[in-house]
Amino acid sequence: MLEMLLAQAFWLIGPAYAANAFPPLARGKMPVDFGKKINGKRILGDGKTIEGTLAGIIFGLFYGAVQILLQPYMPLAIDGKPLELITVTPFIVFLLVIGAILGDFIGSFIKRRARMERGKSAPGMDQLGFLIAGLVLVSLITAVSLEVWIILIILTPLVHWIANLIGYYLMRVKQTPW
């Protein structure tokens, strides 16, 4: 049963993970907020760039397109039990990718309002904002089980942390290991 839920969860969230992971690789320079401020505070900060945003969207859409192509070849059952993967459609991919980007922007916006510096850790917000926004948007058009939500909320911080360690120590594309 657990392996089924894990398969369902990670099958669904792949495009959002891809969209969230790829922006640092773009090493963008042009801030999305163009340096603008609200009440003396940057809207998003230098960490959210046009290049990174576009790269995240493109990579997330690419990942989703690959899923759509592979979908007909996915097993329908494991050990005789139905796998019941959500059918990934272009619209679901779009919602996951846009949700991931918007969720990350919302987290950055909140951090700027709280006067947190770029790169400063905000446990929970850094790891879950993109996930929750993507799942909320997808949940508007298809049922996502409570179990899938719980698995992703529990495991995404670990996945995020490992990805950031790789980005910081191995790839040198992150400024902090969180």
List pLDDT tens digits, range 1-32: 788 899 999 999 999 999 999 888 888 899 99
**Is 134 inside any structural domain?**
yes
Q: How many CA atoms, within 13 angstroms, populate the side-chain half-sphere of residue 73?
A: 5
Phi-psi region of 10 (alpha: psi -120 to 50; beta: other; left: phi over 0): alpha
Structure token pair of residue 131: 């996930």
pLDDT-derived band of residue 86, with 50, 70 and 90 as boundaries? very high
Residues spanned by the domain of 43: 2-170
Structure token pair of residue 25: 């690789």
**Is 113 inside any structural domain?**
yes
**Is 143 inside any structural domain?**
yes
DSSP 8-state assignment for residue 171: S
Count of domains in the chain? 1
**Is 161 inside any structural domain?**
yes
Check residue 55 and give its pLDDT: 97
Q: Is the pTM above the cut of 0.85? A: yes
Q: Is 174's pLDDT higher than 80?
A: no
The highest-confidence range among 9-13, 108-112, 165-169, by mean pLDDT, is 9-13
pLDDT in tens, 112-164: 888 887 777 777 777 899 999 999 999 999 999 999 999 999 999 999 888 87
**Is 105 inside any structural domain?**
yes
Alpha carbons 39 and 66: distance in angstroms, whole number: 43
3 state DSSP class of 14:
helix
**Is 57 inside any structural domain?**
yes
Check residue 178 and give its pLDDT: 63
In 3D space, the residue among 150, 167, 122 whose CA is nearest the CA of residue 26 turns out to be: 167
**Is 176 inside any structural domain?**
no
**Cα 99–Cα 103–Cα 109 angle in degrees, nearest 5:** 145
pLDDT in tens, 33-76: 999 999 989 999 898 999 999 999 999 999 999 999 999 998 88
Check residue 50 and give its pLDDT: 97
Phi-psi region of 60 (alpha: psi -120 to 50; beta: other; left: phi over 0): alpha
**Is 175 inside any structural domain?**
no
Structure token pair of residue 140: 């508007």
Check residue 27 and give its pLDDT: 85
